[in-house]
Amino acid sequence: MQVTKRRAIFALALFAAMIAGGAIAPAEVDLSTGIRYVIPTGTLDECGSKATTALGKYLNAPHEPVAGSHEYQATGPIGGFGESLNAASATVHCFPLDKGYVVTFTCAVETPNNPYGADALCLDIAHNFSGKDEKPLPTPTPVVAPKGCNTQSLAGDWTSDDDHTFSMKMHANGDIDASDGVSGSWYLDTSTLTATITYYGNNTEKLTPDGKHLHGKYNLTRKC
Amino acid sequence: MLFRYRGALVLGAFALNIALASSPAKAALDMVIAPQSVVAGKSFTDCSARAKNALTAVMQSATEAGTGSGNWVGVQRIDGSVAATGIIECHPDAGGYRAGFTCATQVPPGEAADALCGKLTAAFNAATAGYTGASHAGH
């Protein structure tokens, strides 16, 4: 009887370990490149305008990293949360060509965290640029953010241990609103409980195992 | 005795599985566009050759995305997963060419995208006759 019980416990433990092992897959880069359009007549500014619009349809904050470069980048996906936050990125390059330009599209996504592949993203961005039909992309799966003190999210109201008049409201989407009116962002590596608080620069903080305290440049306690 | 031995094996497998499951650190996607290289008086073929050589030297991988396209891709794997990608695009321009550099990496285990692109740019520009410097302006 005792042996049977022990066997059952071992089987259960092994099953749980297999589930846990399978649940965490290493992320990798999925790249798409090669789509290019040759536009015989047109300006680089026109290319830039269309590139910004196309990137902004699928990703956040399209911009030209270096002014005048006619190279554009954006990161997403739109609506990304947790693992899918910043799991997609794309660039559009406008190169001069006689009286027109050549435009190329390069996309990279983090698999399996992004809800769609790099090819699908690049095709839609290119089609938006050229006015062709676009195929709707899946949106990130809504995640129910854990509440209270936990080690999966920093969402919640935090008060400074050093200055009780200072507090931070950390939102589930990674945004921070500090009591001094300054905005920032947070990221939590749940495997090491190491957080990056972007608030007047990037600050590395350690989350306590009970999910209640952050220690580092800013020592904070969460309201549970 | 037999059950004790079997139990130890199962416990060992359990511990190994947990260790393996927790080993992949959570990584972030990092993508950058590096400054272009503008080369005067050289052919598109020269650009392609340099792109292939640079990617091969830095990433040990170089494939042209479409024969004759001048769009070269390098892929670096770590433990079987794609950890870094680098792209060098060649475009003819005013009797010479422009080479564009884009890198996308998974950090960790891959290195930062700007570090990778820096290596690719340096390898591409090494001994490039007619090289007029990295440029983002003057399109």
- The interface predicted TM-score of the complex, written ipTM, equals 0.75
- Inform me whether the pLDDT recorded for A157 exceeds 90: yes
pLDDT of residue A37: 97
Cβ-nearest to B29 among A14, A17, A108: A108
Helices and strands, number each (H, E), in chain A: 3, 13
The model scores a pTM over 0.80: no
Whole-angstrom CA distances from B80 to A52, B25, B73 are: 35, 15, 18
* Angle formed at CA A84 by CA A55 and CA A209, multiple of 5 degrees: 145
Chain B residues near residue A13 by CB distance under 8 angstroms: 10-11, 14
Closest by CA to B44, choosing from A32, A45, A91, A97, is A97
> At what angle are helices B44-59 and B113-125 packed, to 10 degrees?
130
Using CB atoms, which residue from A3, A75, A93 is nearest to B89?
A: A93
Q: Going residue by residue through chain B (139 aa), what tens digit of pLDDT does each one get? A: 444 555 555 555 444 444 443 333 446 899 999 999 999 999 999 999 999 999 999 999 999 999 999 999 999 999 899 999 999 999 999 899 999 999 999 998 999 999 999 999 999 999 554 444 444 433 3
**A106: nearest Cα among B87, B61, B116:** B87
Q: For position B129, what pLDDT does the model report?
A: 44
Say yes or no: A27 contacts chain B, CB-CB below 8 A: yes
Within 10 angstroms of residue A63's Cβ, the number of other Cβ atoms is 14
- Chain B residue closest in CA terms to A13: B14
Task: Give chain A positions within 8 Å (CB) of B6.
Answer: 10
- Chain B interface includes A25 (CB < 8 A): yes
pLDDT at residue B19, rounded to an integer: 41
Residues of B in contact with A187 (CB under 8 A): 28
pLDDT-derived band at A191 (thresholds 50, 70, 90) equals confident
Tokens of B97: 């060419």
Question: Across the interface, which of A14, A29, A44 has its CB nearest the CB of B105?
Answer: A29
Q: Which residue out of A10, A106, A113, A188 would a mutagenesis test of the B interface target, given it has the greatest number of B Cβ atoms within 10 Å?
A: A106
Is residue B1 within 8 angstroms of chain A, CB to CB?
no
B53, two tokens = 């050589």
**Pairwise CA distance, residues B118 & A183, whole Å:** 32
B18/A70 touch (CB, cutoff 8 Å), yes or no:
no
Token pair listed for A172:
């589930």
Given a cut of 90, whether residue A93 has pLDDT beyond it is yes
User: What integer pLDDT is reported at residue B4 of this predicted model?
Assistant: 53
Residue A32, pLDDT above cutoff 60: yes
In chain A, which among 127-166 make CB contacts under 8 A with chain B? none
Averaged pLDDT for residues A43-71: 96
> Average per-residue pLDDT in chain A?
87
Residues of A in contact with B13 (CB under 8 A): 14, 17
Q: Compare CB distances from A95 to B29, B85, B91 and report the shortest one's residue.
A: B91
What pLDDT, on the 0 to 100 scale, is given for residue A18? Answer: 44
| More confidently predicted of A223 and A147 | A223
Partner B, chain A 47-76, Cβ-Cβ below 8 Å: 65-66, 68-71, 73, 75
Residue A63 has pLDDT above 70, yes or no: yes
Q: What is the C-alpha to C-alpha distance for residues B139 and A50, in angstroms, rounded to an integer?
A: 17
* DSSP letter assigned to residue B6: H
Question: How far is CA A111 from its chain centroid?
Answer: 12
pLDDT digits (tens, 9 = 90+) for A122-151: 999 999 999 999 999 998 765 556 778 999
pLDDT at residue A220 greater than cutoff 70: yes
Q: Which of residues 79-118 of A touch B (CB under 8 A)?
A: 83, 86-89, 91, 93-97, 102, 104, 106, 108-110
Is A28 in the B-facing interface, judged by CB distances under 8 Å?
yes
The CA-to-CA distance between both ends of chain A, in Å, stands at 44
Residues contacting A10, CB < 8 A, separation 6+: B6, B7, B10, B11
